[in-house]
Structure 1
Amino acid sequence: MSEFKPENLAVQYVPPASIFNPIDNRKYTLTHCDTTGELFLSIGCHFDPGKINMTMRDEVLGEWKRNLGQYTFSGTVYISGGEFDQQLSNVRYMIFKKELPLALAAMVNGDKGFYAYYPWLLDAPIIICFESIFPEYQQTLYLGTPRQYLIK
């Protein structure tokens, strides 16, 4: 896993989202630059389609959802809808699985001020769904809580 470096993260709040609003359906779009290692995080009420490369599909999406009064951080990673063969899908799956801790650290630390207003969310479960037409890569994983990814 790559190490999270806060200086490599650029954060953008997309209005009307701010450091303290909204909680419900707060959405995160995380992308990166392969050559520089920079990470780009958009936080808003919608995913940021301008940041998503529809050819590569190497973004990590996340959002806060409430179900029966409990919050969950739900994430999505796109592996393949048929445009990538099984071998390339396996490579994508392995890379995403390896780099997810870095992506989650970027999302949590990039929105650190949000947790000052809602500290109980630091202990909410993180659930990540891998989307693929290949059953072996179509998975849902529990990846701990935001507190585990917070840099002190």
Structure 2
Amino acid sequence: MSNWDPMRITVLYLPPATEFRPVDRRKYTWTQSKTTGESFLSIGYDYDFNAIQVEYRDEVLAEWIPQMGQYVLSGKIFISDESFDEKYAKIRFMIFQREARQALAAMIYGDRTFFSNYPWLLDSPIYIHFQSNYHEFNKIIYYETPRQYLNEAIQPIVL
């Protein structure tokens, strides 16, 4: 996450969602500009399918889901379907596995006001499902808690 700049994120709330609601099924759509590197985060009751570039499929989607007495931030990243060969799927998996932390940092930092109102969510687990038609890339990986991402984002820069 060393190259992630919290100042290069644009946050859009999709009405009727706000900085304060909903909690259940609050959805995040994260995309990034290929040319500027700027992050775009949409927050709403639904995913922002208008922000997704279908030809690249490089978005990260996540939502808050109540599960066994706690909330879980459950995300998904498209890796491959039958239109991708295994070699290309492997490359996508390796890239997204590395870049998922940046996307999560943008989501958590971009929605930090929400967390100030629901601080108990800061210790909720984050799971990302890498979706692939190839078994070796179709997996769910634990990505810590929102607290780790906020702590990293607000660390002072050491020169």
TM-score in terms of structure 2 length: 0.93
| Alignment-derived partner of residue 32 in structure 2 | 32
Q: Which residue is equivalent to 2:68? A: 68
Residue type of the alignment partner of 1:60 = V
Aligned partner of 1:41 in structure 2 is 41
Looking at structure 2, the residues matched to 69 and 16 of structure 1 have their Cα atoms a distance apart, in angstroms, of 26
Q: Write out the 4+ residue segments of structure 1 that deviate beyond 3 Å after TM superposition.
A: none
Give, in whole Å, the separation in 1 of the partners of 2:123 and 2:34. Answer: 31
Q: How many residues get paired?
A: 152
Measured on the aligned residues, the alpha-carbon RMSD in Å equals: 0.9
Deviates more, 1:1-10 or 1:102-111: 1-10
**How much has 1:3 moved relative to structure 2?**
2.4
| Structure 1 counterpart SS, 2:79 | strand
Q: Secondary structure at the match of 1:40?
A: strand
Structure 1 residue 2 displacement after superposition: 5.1
SS at match of 1:30: strand
Cα distance between partner residues in 1 of 2:73 and 2:147: 12
Partner AA of 2:83 in structure 1: E
Secondary structure in structure 1 of the residue aligned to 2:130: strand
**SS where residue 51 of structure 1 aligns?**
coil
Percent of matched pairs sharing the same residue: 49
Structure 2: tracts of 5 or more residues without a match: 155-159
